[in-house]
Each structure stands twice: as structure tokens, then as C-alpha cells.
Amino acid sequence: MPLVRYRKVVILGYRSVGKTSLAHQFVEGEFLEDYDPTVENTYSKIVTVGKDEFHLHLVDTAGQDEYSILPYSFIIGVHGYVLVYSVTSLHSFQVIESLYQKLHEGHGKTRLPVVLVGNKADLSPDREVQAVEGKKLAASWGATFMESSARNNQLTQGIFTKVIQEIARVENSYGQERRCHLMPPNVAGTHPLQRQAPCLTFSICGLQFPGCRAAANLQALLPSPSRERLLLAKTRGS
């Protein structure tokens, strides 16, 4: 039986851009006409990409704006992101630029697996953001860009398949470029517990951290006993 890999993906964007509709359409196969504003919902689905199976855990977040402070739960243990704006709202597009910068800072300015989505493409007559603008922004991040319509189920499945592929692409690039070493304290030399982990994600005291530099900053938030048990070797190439 093939191994099912776990992937946690956070969906972020301004309010009323269709984040919940995209997630619900992907998981349940139907469009939600009416629903209360999201506080935070989670969805799960087994997805096959190529020959591999993934347990995709989606976190559908409340609407964010340029003043939002992103919690560490949007950073720690997260494998990738779907950033959503509405093509009918220039402001939602501007907000997504701000949210990306906050994520980028939170991850220690490392490369992020991101799919940028211009939603509500079915409302093209009311368009305020052209596709070329979305493509340009995504290219500046090294991310993938897609336009979609949750109502018409346009590319909804493709968005979440693509984010899994982006996660693999970024993880592989970091695995080739540099690796960080994790070893329990008071263990010298080449102890069998010593291991290597890709810089994109690794564990500290049972918690997953994306990005070596991000973890170096976040370790100060851990309780003192945990800090005392923590040893981070210098990252080669940083």
C-alpha cells in the first residue's frame, strides 16, 4: 500500500474573495451560494498527483487585510499556501501583496510554495485586475498563477493539485542547495540519532518548522526547558 503523504495548506486572502467557495468546491464538489463569513474552517481530502497520494489538509482562514497580524499557526507546520484575490477587486489584489510579504518575513525570507489565484473569473465584466497583473506578481515571487471561478468549478481542482506540485518543487530545490543538521544536545560526533532534514521543514521539540532561519527566530518563543534541549547547527550556505 503506497504511503499517503500529509500536506497542510493555508488559504489566505481578503474577505469575500471566495476562499471558502474554492475549498468547498474542491472537497465537496458543489458551490456554496450563501454562507456565514468564515472564522476558520478545515477541510481534508485524499488527492492523487502522478503516482503519489496525499492527505491534503486545507485551512480556510478568515478574511485578512493589510493590517492583519498573521498568527504563528499560519507559519509553523505549513507546507504551502493558496493566496486568493478577486479579479473584481483591486483592493483585494493589493492586500494579497501585503500578505505575501508577511509570510515571506515569517519564513525567514525563504522561497515559499505558493499558488496565486485570481478568483471570480466568471465576473469578467466587473474586472478590476487583469490577468497579466496577476502573472507578473506571481512571477516576482517565483510562484504559480491561475485564474478560477468557484461558481463554475473552473480550474478549482487544478489549484490544489498545483500547490502540491509547488511544495515538492520548493522542497526539492532546498534539498539540493543546502541541508540543516538537527541533533539532540549532549550527543557528540556521528550519533545514530543525528539526522539531516531539508531546510524547508523540520522539527523542534515535536513541532514542525518551515525554514531554518524562521526556526532560529521562533525558538525564542519556546518554553525555557525546550530551549535548553534544542541544538541548531549553523546552516551551510546561509
Full pLDDT tens readout for the chain, 238 residues = 678 999 999 999 999 999 999 999 999 888 877 666 667 899 999 999 988 999 999 999 989 988 889 998 999 999 999 999 999 999 999 999 999 999 999 998 888 999 999 999 999 899 999 999 999 999 999 999 999 988 887 788 899 999 999 999 998 887 654 444 333 333 333 333 333 334 444 444 444 444 444 444 444 444 444 433 443 433 344 4
The model carries a pTM of 0.73
3-state secondary structure of 152: coil
DSSP letters, 63-132, are P--TTPPPPGGGTTT--EEEEEEETT-HHHHHHHHHHHHHHHHHTTT----EEEEEE-GGGGGG--S-HH
Residues of the chain with CATH 3.40.50.300: 4-174
3-state secondary structure of 224: helix
Would you state the cell numbers that stand for residue 115, as one nine-digit string? 499558488
- Please provide the size of the chain in residues: 238
Task: Identify the pLDDT of residue 65.
Answer: 86
Nearest to 87 by CA among 116, 117, 128: 128
Would you state the cell numbers that stand for residue 7, as one nine-digit string? 500536506
> What is the rounded distance in angstroms from the CA atom of residue 169 to the CA atom of residue 159?
15
Task: Identify the pLDDT of residue 193.
Answer: 32
> For residue 190, what are the contacts with CB-CB under 8 A and spacing of at least 6?
none
> What is the rounded distance in angstroms from the CA atom of residue 108 to the CA atom of residue 19?
26
CATH homologous superfamily for 4-174? P-loop containing nucleotide triphosphate hydrolases (3.40.50.300)
Task: Identify the pLDDT of residue 98.
Answer: 96
| H helix runs in the chain, sequence order | 19-28, 90-106, 131-141, 156-177, 212-218, 224-228
| Chain-centroid distance, C-alpha 186 | 34
Which residues on adjacent β-strands are paired with residue 43?
Answer: 58
